[in-house]
Amino acid sequence: MSSVGGKVSLVGAGPGDPMLITLRAASILARADVIVYDRLANPVLLDHCRRDAERVFVGKEAHHHAVPQAEINRMLVEFASRGLHVCRLKGGDPFVFGRGGEEAQALSAAGIEWEYVPGISSAIAAPGYAGIPVTHRTHGSAFAVVTGHHDPARGFEVSRWAVRPEPRSTLVILMGAERLNALVDELLTGGWAPETPAALVSRGTLPSQKVLQGTLRDLPEQVRAVTGGRPATLSPATLIVGEVAGLSSELAWHRPGSLHQRRIVVTRPESQAQPLVNELESRGAVVLSLPLIRLRAVEPFELETLQQHWDWVVFTSANAVRFLREQLRACCLDIRSLPATARIAAIGRETARVADDVGLRVSFVPNQMNSEGLLREFPEPVARLKILLPRAREGRDLLAREWGARGAVVGVLPTYETVELPPTEQQIGSVILEPAADAVVLASGSAVRALAASLTAEQRAMLRVACIGDTTGREARRLGFGDLAIAEDPSPAGVAAALEGLLAVEQNGGTGPPEGPKGE
């Protein structure tokens, strides 16, 4: 970390979709010592951060401030005074109702260097993602952006804009869902016509975006019907009033994702689940975390085995790559120092990607991404070859057994082991059963067994599961999970595709899950 020259970057996180962050913002996230972030900054953006960066959540929402603004100001000054580079990550744009101006004043008063990095404001992005241009040559020649929050000392911010509305003007009201009825009453009292087009965009730019369109007269009733009288459940939301709001139906282009509002339970360890979570959320899923296993390094590590002569090192999982790298680091060695004579094989594209990320050059990946594919498609006869298998301690013995029978010398190097974490009755009830999950993702036989131990036979038969790999699928069938799909491609996109296929059966009126791979 820096020792002198502390600095604060006031960075806009954008309107919600993590792909809408600027290159400048991503660069600062990758370099900052400390990240101070709020509730409206998509947590996926923290993937850009350095692994050793300190992360401080100061989230705010209506009626509850996790950290008061004065304390945030003090915190920024203190971090920077210690010579640290601080990224103050704020939803939308820091200077558009983000209180970035107050933070800038506090920093200036303390003599702290700071900079402003603009973000895309939800005031423009949320209407645009709903097919509403805030300006239009015919329908909207000017627009105003105001806050829907209530300041008792000043009344509603919208009040001054409610009186004598200009023709073809547009009013964009941020943070107005909870006070929608009062805001609409204020506008109608001020002179806006009841038939003025109006739209409410909830969670704009995200896959879970919802758009309610109508007029000032009927929009509150629409919101009441959708939320059961609890409009705050649509927060964060943007209210658009004016002729342009009537264009939403004609110009709607942002479609719900293929897994829109599906409740998907991800059972991978949290440290490894994020890429899959990101993929599922990008397709509109509501993702719930329920880790069913914990991975830990094998002790003692058999370094001598690795240092022998090997013709091939075959990785059968991305975890084997990760844990081997960590085991070697503990020995003050680099994974790139694997025996120079050895070529590298990976069971699938995801494992190959992880190997490439740590500096290994993968020579072979089978088209059929499982142990059977490795056996069938291996690029040379294995007789008299020396093949090393870094893997889980409880890993499948098929490769060692078959290659050994063909004359290869096969070494097994356990790098990690799996500890099952059977869920509690409360977790099963709240995450899987009530309300019912649409599907559960199972990545290993250990995860299958941990879940099966907490469910009745009837519950297992009714639960939809997506299994990563044939081995996991076989274990799921053995333990009575009857409605399942196999993701032969273990990448996040491959798992998402398997889920789409599994859930499409129900949508299309089918009677069962897709068939598993031939020969199972």
Residue 323's CB is within 10 A of a number of other CB atoms, namely 23
What is 389-427 written as a DSSP string?
EEEETT---HHHHHHHHTT-EEEEEEEEEEEE-PPPHHH
Q: What is the predicted pLDDT for the residue at 274?
A: 84
Residue type, 16: G
Q: What is the predicted pLDDT for the residue at 99?
A: 92
Range with the poorest average pLDDT among 133-142, 199-208, 474-483, 502-511 = 502-511
pLDDT digits (tens, 9 = 90+) for 220-235: 999 999 888 888 888 8
pLDDT of 405 strictly over 90? yes
For residue 409, the cross-strand partners are: 386
* Distances 363 to 115, 350, 370, 373, 389 between C-alpha atoms, Å: 46, 14, 16, 15, 15
Instruction: Find all residues with CB under 8 Å of 50, minimum gap 6, and list them.
Output: 30, 31, 32, 33
Q: What is the predicted pLDDT for the residue at 370?
A: 85
CATH class of 124-251: alpha beta
CATH class of 263-292+421-507: alpha beta
332: left (phi over 0), alpha (psi -120 to 50) or beta: left
Q: Report the pLDDT averaged over residues 51-70.
A: 75
Percent of the chain clearing pLDDT 70 (strictly above): 92
141 half-sphere exposure, CB direction, 13 A CA radius: 5
54 pLDDT band, cuts 50/70/90, is very high
Q: What is the predicted pLDDT for the residue at 491?
A: 86
* Distances 4 to 76, 80, 82, 134 between C-alpha atoms, Å: 15, 9, 7, 45
151 pLDDT band, cuts 50/70/90, is low
1 pLDDT band, cuts 50/70/90, is very low
pLDDT of 64 strictly over 70? no
2: left (phi over 0), alpha (psi -120 to 50) or beta: beta
pLDDT of 518 strictly over 70? no
d(CA 40, CA 442): 30
**Which string of b and e fits 33-49 if b means at least 16 CB within 10 Å?**
bbbbbbebbbebbbebb
Higher per-residue confidence, 198 vs 281: 198
Q: What kind of architecture, by CATH, is found in domain 7-119?
A: 3-Layer(aba) Sandwich (3.40)
- Identify the active-site residue in 17, 33, 38, 93: 38
d(CA 98, CA 100): 5
Instruction: Find all residues with CB under 8 Å of 71, minimum gap 6, and list them.
Output: 58
Percent of the chain clearing pLDDT 90 (strictly above): 52
**H/E element holding 37?**
strand 34-37
Task: Give domain limits for the chain.
Answer: 7-119, 124-251, 263-292+421-507, 296-419
d(CA 436, CA 491): 26
pLDDT of 247 strictly over 50? yes
CATH number for the domain whose boundaries are 296-419: 3.40.50.10090
pLDDT digits (tens, 9 = 90+) for 425-476: 888 888 888 878 899 999 989 899 999 999 999 999 999 999 998 889 999 9
pLDDT digits (tens, 9 = 90+) for 10-24: 999 999 988 899 999
pLDDT of 478 strictly over 90? yes
Whether 60 is a known active-site residue: answer yes
Both tokens assigned to 57: 């959540």
Backbone angles phi, psi at 14, to 5 degrees: 85, 180
Instruction: Find all residues with CB under 8 Å of 85, minimum gap 6, and list them.
Output: 2, 6, 7, 9, 31, 32, 33, 34
160 pLDDT band, cuts 50/70/90, is low
pLDDT of 179 strictly over 80? yes
d(CA 200, CA 172): 10
Q: What is the predicted pLDDT for the residue at 130?
A: 95
Whether 356 is a known active-site residue: answer no
Are the C-beta atoms of 122 and 236 separated by less than 8 Å? yes
Q: Report the pLDDT averaged over residues 61-76.
A: 78
Are the C-beta atoms of 359 and 327 separated by less than 8 Å? no
Q: What is the predicted pLDDT for the residue at 272?
A: 81
DSSP at 5: -
Angle at CA of residue 53, ends 21 and 23, nearest 5° = 20
pLDDT of 513 strictly over 50? no
Q: What is the predicted pLDDT for the residue at 29?
A: 95
Chain-wide mean pLDDT for the chain?
87
165 pLDDT band, cuts 50/70/90, is low
pLDDT digits (tens, 9 = 90+) for 333-379: 888 877 777 999 999 888 999 999 888 999 999 998 888 899 999 99
159 pLDDT band, cuts 50/70/90, is low
Give the relative orientation of helices 445-452 and 470-478 as an angle to the nearest 10 degrees. Answer: 20
Q: What is the predicted pLDDT for the residue at 156?
A: 52
pTM over 0.95: no
292 half-sphere exposure, CB direction, 13 A CA radius: 24
pLDDT of 3 strictly over 70? no
100: left (phi over 0), alpha (psi -120 to 50) or beta: alpha
pLDDT digits (tens, 9 = 90+) for 373-404: 999 999 999 999 999 999 988 877 899 999 99
Same fold, 7-119 and 124-251: no
Q: What is the predicted pLDDT for the residue at 514?
A: 34
Q: Report the pLDDT averaged over residues 226-246.
A: 90
Q: What is the predicted pLDDT for the residue at 66?
A: 67
| Of 283, 288, 203, 279, nearest in space to 503 by CA | 283
d(CA 166, CA 482): 62
519 pLDDT band, cuts 50/70/90, is very low
Instruction: Find all residues with CB under 8 Å of 397, minimum gap 6, and list them.
Output: none
Q: Report the pLDDT averaged over residues 490-510.
A: 79
